[in-house]
Amino acid sequence: MKKLLAIETSCDETAAAVVDEKINILSNIVLSQDEIHAPYGGIVPELASRQHILSLTYIVAEALERAEINLSQVDVFGVTQGPGLIGSLLVGLSLAKGLAFYYQKSLIPVDHLEAHLESVFIEHSWLSLPALGLLVSGGHTSLYLLRQRLSYQLLGKTRDDAAGEALDKVAKFLDLGYPGGPLIEHLAEQGDRQAFPFRVPQMTDGSLDFSFSGLKTAALKQIKENKLSADHPLFHDFLASFEAAVVRSLIKNLDRAVPQFRPRSVFLCGGVSRNKHLRETFLAWAHKKGLPAAIPSPQYCTDNAAMVGALAMKKFLQGQGAHLNLELNAYPRADYRRG
């Protein structure tokens, strides 16, 4: 059985995983840098790449040990090529290139966003196509139609902030720390989701794009006007209402896309899809629509190398990346991909 070692360093998680050709995840190690970036309320790119340099070889060693193999038993390497922070990406890509060259094995570069989309199939290979997939993370909020495996059509994307970014920025404004999504989720648990009436944006041109900067600005205005802070009696209600508005906005676009594209299933992926309120609302909505629905387990939602390995293995089995290309370079943005 062929085994693939995958490396993911696109942002602030240092991750490695071993995946076999049946897409069994033999190990999946993620080292978060949250504590390093928390004092700044967001990711500091230079600190992220330096930390990847310090941690990556240990994380790779741990992934191999848990999978009970050594480097010479790896049949193929997989790595995130982009989009992401360029310095961070280069750390993972350089190590992967070096290993593939030394062991004379194939190296499969993968796109981080496609890896998030593939993450759902690790545990839900039964999903029937075409599927409507919503990727909600700190850097992206995009809706895709997946007609065939590994073939994605972008239907809509955010015109400004990503959903996770809006949560992170509101948390930063309130000095809650980083990343804001899980912190807001925890504090919102006891709150009243109806207490603050946030208006969910609607694209006037009928597109399926998202926008979160209006919601974020409305939230910041409420914080200032009501002098909201952790000891304010309406603090939890405010966070619950804001979180609910973000979720409503996501589900609204999904709902609009269903009659247009008539999918046979729906799925969520990306870091924000760890959010309990989003998961529950999405599943209830899909049930009402009579659509089979899937969300990855939490460890496959936020950045991880298992999803990179799953996608790289699929590509390898299709015959992609048979030759080692040492010219491979990282790309920071989705639209630089073919450049």
Q: What is the 3-state secondary structure (H, E, C) of 113-138?
A: HHHHHHHHHHHCCCCCCCEEEEEECC
Does 158 contact ligand KG4 by CB under 6 A? no
Q: Which residues contact 85 (CB under 8 A, 6 or more apart)?
A: 10, 11, 43, 45, 48, 49, 332
Does 118 contact Zn ion by CB under 5 A? no
Segments of the chain assigned E as strands: 3-8, 13-20, 25-32, 76-82, 106-111, 131-136, 141-148, 151-157, 265-269, 293-294
Tell me which residue has tokens 């046979």: 264
Tell me which residue has tokens 């997946």: 146
- The one segment of 38-46, 70-78, 196-204, 302-310 that binds Zn ion by CB under 5 A: 302-310
Does 55 contact ligand KG4 by CB under 6 A? no
Helix and strand totals (H; E) in the chain? 11, 10
Does 268 contact ligand KG4 by CB under 6 A? no
Which CB atom, from 12 or from 237, has the smaller least distance to Zn ion?
12
Enumerate residues 202-241 that contact Zn ion by CB under 5 A.
Answer: none
Q: Which residues contact 283 (CB under 8 A, 6 or more apart)?
A: 293, 295
Which CB atom, from 99 or from 308, has the smaller least distance to ligand KG4?
308
Does 83 contact ligand KG4 by CB under 6 A? no
- What x-and-dash track marks residues 131-150 binding ligand KG4 by CB under 6 A? ------xxx-----------
Which CB atom, from 27 or from 302, has the smaller least distance to ligand KG4?
302
User: Contact, 308 vs 80, CB < 8 A?
Assistant: yes
Does 274 contact ligand KG4 by CB under 6 A? yes
Does 78 contact ligand KG4 by CB under 6 A? no
Does 303 contact Zn ion by CB under 5 A? yes
Q: Considering CB distances under 5 to 8 angstroms, the limit depending on partner class, which of ligand KG4, Zn ion, none binds residue 113?
A: none
| Structure tokens, 329 | 């370079």
- The one segment of 40-48, 129-137, 143-151, 251-259 that binds Zn ion by CB under 5 A: 129-137
- What x-and-dash track marks residues 163-192 binding ligand KG4 by CB under 6 A? -x--xx----------xxxx--x-------
If DSSP codes are grouped into helix, strand and coil, which group holds residue 267? Answer: strand
| Interatomic CA distance for residues 109 and 265, integer angstroms | 28
| Structure tokens, 326 | 């040492």
Does 263 contact ligand KG4 by CB under 6 A? no
Q: Considering CB distances under 5 to 8 angstroms, the limit depending on partner class, which of ligand KG4, Zn ion, none binds residue 164?
A: ligand KG4
Burial of 202 (0-12, 13-18, 19+ CB in 10 A): exposed
Interface positions with ligand KG4 (CB under 6 A): 11, 137-139, 164, 167-168, 179-182, 185, 270-272, 274-275, 302-303
